[in-house]
Amino acid sequence: MHRNVKAVIEAGNLLGITVRPRQFPESTRTAVDAALAIGVDLGQIVKSLVFCVDGEVVVALVSGTNQLDETKLAAAAGGEQAWREDADTVREATGFPVGGIPPFGHREQLRVFIDPDLLQFDEVWAAAGTPHVNFPVAPDTLVRGTAGLVCDLARAVV
């Protein structure tokens, strides 16, 4: 088992979350790829997006069907401006590669913001540290375990 997956399992244990990792032969790097590989609705995929809000690195957990609205994230975090971080900053802050970022277990203590659209499902799937390993979790368990703030993060569809 990959060391990143072990780290996610251990982090889950500390939060009272049982992580049952499942490895897929195909990549689950994108939400579309993950939904196809796992065989679930696109909305059940948790996109762990790392952004910076006024200099603070934060994580937004967004449903696979939604795009993040940076203005809404900045407002939720009490800031003025949000921007996507580069891959090196993401790995430095979380300890994980883009495409495999789990919702918890990051190298640094990061504030988490959660898309309420994830709460409509009994089970959602999140990355477990690599672009080929994911795990199922109940959305309310995810909210509790991450101490995430549930708030509107989705970009309006025009």
pTM: 0.95
Give 133's pLDDT tier (boundaries 50, 70, 90).
Answer: very high
CB-based contact 44:124 (threshold 8 Å): yes
- How confident is the model at residue 158, as a pLDDT? 62
Whether the pLDDT of residue 27 is over 90: the answer is no
Residue type, 17: I
CB-based contact 67:81 (threshold 8 Å): no
pLDDT tens digits, 9-21? 999 999 999 999 9
CA distance 88 to 97: 9
pLDDT tens digits, 53-84? 999 999 999 999 999 999 999 999 999 999 99
Where do the domains of the chain lie, and which CATH numbers do they carry? Answer: 3-150 (3.90.960.10)
Q: Average pLDDT of the chain?
A: 95
Instruction: Tell me the sheet residues that pair with 82.
Output: 53
